[in-house]
Structure 1
């Protein structure tokens, strides 16, 4: 008989004892069959089963063992990631709530300082107060965004019919100054969709707000909201603008938390608004994305279930 030594499951580097029993069993059998296939022709095994069949069976068993091992590793990694994500969300929620009180106190005292000592502050003092006020406003916005991001996919959905025409008009009235010259128009009638009104308003407000904010200095914002029916009873809503646009390299990451495009450095923001929008839309079973707007700007779109007529 050949000097080839059959390697058992316990001796296999694949089945090193750290994997689950099915993995060790598959790996051990596969390696043993490899040894049988390599034995001398005088072995009774090749006379019963061809060596090629034995080798093919060994390969199949080893492949199954490796696939099982990688599947178990992936499952363990996903569990750790979900646990860490849950811990991070809990921290963001706690931090956001705990920061609200001192921020509110700082804002209130700042206003009292302005009212009580307006005459004594002088121009420089008034300018310093406005700087502090803007900083507090940015911090407050970050805290609100953190809280929204942490809870956007946890609260129960309150699904009801939402007329998009009315919601877009309300958001536009709040976002645009009457004498500012910027415009938000509807390119045709907008449908009624099935959504959570509060969460959907956040999406509409964020997309229209971004379209206005990321308009080049000295230009008037031109925003158009359109809708088209899609297959499967869904509707696709598009918010198109003529702003600074999004570089091609940034588009796949624009909905990631804390990501800001390369050309957005001169504009304020936390990098959380679009990430919150994605969570909200995905909770509704829809999709969200962005394309280039021919002629300049961006076309943000998302899908939602359309209310049956």
Structure 2
């Protein structure tokens, strides 16, 4: 009599998977700053040891433009993905954003392409959420004033993410080299009903704004120090996400000298102009970096110790965080698979 029990010694081959395409609107429909912060807080300690992320490839495609490649892959059965982010950086764009990116996700089990998603939007969310997650450990719980230096595409994300983790913030001061842009962003955010509990203002006095900030967050392409360490008040937290090359810097040596410095990962010590320059000038040593984000979340390294110390967090971007962010978007998108997210044509092949 024939058995109905399947032959486990010869399992069926894995079924082909049609990749999904996730647009920028799709990313926005699947993730919030709150949900991504929560996801990263739980998955970074769980999977960081299982994710291999070589230092990014950075190529100068012109004197002012760059191509970045950020690969990563997981060895954990619970995170069966391989991913790569491709990023172009054209800071001289005027009518278009300066950064464009695509993330491609593959199955680590079969190598099949699973998804291609707009990583420009993904990067905005993940960068802001990483900064806010670090702020959860490094800024004062009673922080009331947030200073946003820069008013580009990342600025509103950084503001929203910090408002998610620091509920006592009541004033946001925005500074930009072009005051009209700072004022336009302040006016735009002031008009949003969900943000009515916050007072938004623009300020052309950078030093004055920094002196009043409990949390100062920077997202610029500056090659000269904007934040002066002497202007940081006791208890301030400085967060910087703009620089990713040795020639870029958003703060001076005094800021990193006064602060306890943390990074998002090892690449920051090798790429960020604020740190590379400080190492070269003997202001600090690599060993003086207190710890990274995973160590903060795991509790292996202590974050803020008292209300008076100054803390600094430098982020240059992490392929591990990209993979975990893409995982969240893909797994939610696979369930939704509607609206701005659509199943690709069976003949589509994601490059």
| TM-score, scaled relative to structure 2 | 0.24
Q: Which has the higher helix share?
A: 1
- Highest CA radius of gyration, 1 or 2? 1
Q: Which has the higher strand share?
A: 2
